[in-house]
Amino acid sequence: MNTAEIADLQKQFLIPTYAPQLALVKGSGTKVWDADGKEYLDFLAGIAVLNVGHCHPNVVKAVQDQAATLMHVSNLYYNEKQPQLAKALAEKAGGGKCFFCNSGAEANEGLIKLARLWGSDKGKFEVVTMKNSFHGRTLATLTATGQDKVQKGFYPLPEGFAYAEFNNLESVKTAITEKTAAVLVEAVQGEGGIIPADSEFIAGLRTLCDEKNILLLFDEVQAGIGRTGKWFGFQNYDVQPDAFSLAKALGNGFPIGAVVASPEVADTFQPGNHATTFGGTPLACAAALAVLETIEQENLLENAKAMGTLLLEKLQVIADQYDWIECARGTGLMVGLVLNDSALPLQKKLQEKGLLTLATAVRVLRILPPLNVTVEDVEKAVALIEDACSELDSL
């Protein structure tokens, strides 16, 4: 099928929650191809999912082998891949235990339930989240998301959430009451426009939560699994969360999410408190184990840091040339080019030129390449961005 045929079929049979422009049919590393044979350099990576690139042979092999051995057993039974993956994640996180699920929203839902159950004998249930955050699209997580646009039309929202300004400790202090069980934060707001948290803010949150006996929760769904040059975004700060969520890149495209909780709070959940049919299947865990091993074997944390620095420097040079580009900002390979106005024309022009990115928070071009990008990939992408900016400037 060509793009037009696929679009026509989709229009007839899919609930129109999405508005895609491009039909992708094949991928390899940092490249993808559309249904009409055109090649793209993928600097979006399925929105921070494909951290080891499209169809990495290690992940493909792990999925193929596991699919032919045992795909699913139900959590009524042990499956060795699940504690193996949990151990690998706990070691990287500095301790803790895991609960596996299937998506970012479900992982955050797990964090919220963990906080509520932990607070239930203390009279605490409220979760303070940040304005401009993003935590998912289920009812609880869209309520946690501090953005009207995702909540509009879905009232009444579940109770038990309060909002504070990101990077404003005083605002969090004001939002906390004796009913507050947890503060939930992203180390780098992704969907909100690639806004890294300030070090003082994160350090202040840890102190504040300790003083008030409140859990500090990180949503690591986008920033986690090496994206920022550390295994988890909070590791760019000198803090240890009480629990955090993972999803997106954990399976590199194979759906899997996780709640990782510190040893002190992990056993809050006991048999019967929380569950999900597909959580931590042998297949999903095999994919995730291959992802973690690949990041280690190929030194992708170091590469993400080095390539992120290079990309940021080169984008800042472009930003300095045009008065309609404010700046480039980010951490590791979570990078944003901040414009004065909508980033959509730039995203579209780049797509025409064969570079995939995403306009976010209206005026931010979100750039999230696979962690194994090369200097050549970065230079090629920057050259395309330079071209596109110069063409838009002359309009």
Ligand X SMILES: *Cc1c(COP(=O)(O)O)cnc(C)c1O
Beta-ladder partners of 360: 364
Least Cβ distance, residue 260 to ligand X (angstroms): 14
Contact predicate 124/112, CB 8 Å: no
How many C-beta neighbours within 10 Å does residue 323 have?
Answer: 9
Sign of the alpha-carbon dihedral angle for 101, 289, 301, 363? negative
Q: Which of 59, 88, 89, 105 binds ligand X (CB under 6 A)?
A: 105
- Alpha-carbon distance of 239 to 208, in angstroms, equals 12
How many C-beta neighbours within 10 Å does residue 36 have?
Answer: 11
Who contacts 178 (Cβ-Cβ below 8 Å, separation ≥6)? 123, 124
With binding defined as CB under 6 A, does residue 103 bind ligand X? yes
With binding defined as CB under 6 A, does residue 221 bind ligand X? yes
Who contacts 385 (Cβ-Cβ below 8 Å, separation ≥6)? 315, 318, 337, 346, 350, 355
Compare residues 143 and 222 and give the one whose CB is closer to ligand X.
Answer: 222
Compare residues 134 and 269 and give the one whose CB is closer to ligand X.
Answer: 134
Q: Which of 191, 235, 280, 289 binds ligand X (CB under 6 A)?
A: 191
Residue 36 labelled as part of a binding site: no
Contact predicate 56/294, CB 8 Å: yes
Residue number of the CB closest to ligand X reads 104
Axis crossing angle, helix 300-321 with helix 282-297, rounded to the nearest 10: 70
Residue 320 labelled as part of a binding site: no
Least Cβ distance, residue 194 to ligand X (angstroms): 11
With binding defined as CB under 6 A, does residue 222 bind ligand X? yes
Sign of the alpha-carbon dihedral angle for 216, 219, 225, 230? negative
Residue 276 labelled as part of a binding site: yes
Contact predicate 182/216, CB 8 Å: yes
The backbone torsions φ and ψ at residue 334, rounded to the nearest 5 degrees and listed phi first, read -110, 95
Stretch that binds ligand X, among 30-38, 217-225, 311-319, 333-341 (CB under 6 A): 217-225
Compare residues 329 and 349 and give the one whose CB is closer to ligand X.
Answer: 329
Q: Which of 56, 116, 135, 314 binds ligand X (CB under 6 A)?
A: 135
Residue 137 labelled as part of a binding site: yes
Residue 95 labelled as part of a binding site: no
- Alpha-carbon distance of 190 to 170, in angstroms, equals 23
Least Cβ distance, residue 111 to ligand X (angstroms): 10
* Angle value at C-alpha 192, between 51 and 89, nearest 5 degrees: 35
Least Cβ distance, residue 213 to ligand X (angstroms): 26
With binding defined as CB under 6 A, does residue 126 bind ligand X? no
Residue 104 labelled as part of a binding site: yes
Stretch that binds ligand X, among 13-21, 173-181, 214-222, 304-312 (CB under 6 A): 214-222
Give residue for tokens 């300004």.
165
With binding defined as CB under 6 A, does residue 136 bind ligand X? yes
Tokens coding 279: 């959580």
Stretch that binds ligand X, among 66-74, 99-107, 148-156, 349-357 (CB under 6 A): 99-107
Least Cβ distance, residue 246 to ligand X (angstroms): 10
Stretch that binds ligand X, among 60-68, 218-226, 312-320, 348-356 (CB under 6 A): 218-226
Stretch that binds ligand X, among 32-40, 98-106, 228-236, 308-316 (CB under 6 A): 98-106
Give the contact letters, 55-94, x = binds to ligand X (CB under 6 A), - = no.
----------------------------------------
- Alpha-carbon distance of 265 to 66, in angstroms, equals 32
Binding site members: 104-105, 134, 137, 219-222, 276-277
Point out which residues bind ligand X (CB under 6 A). 103-105, 108, 134-136, 186, 190-191, 219, 221-222, 247-248
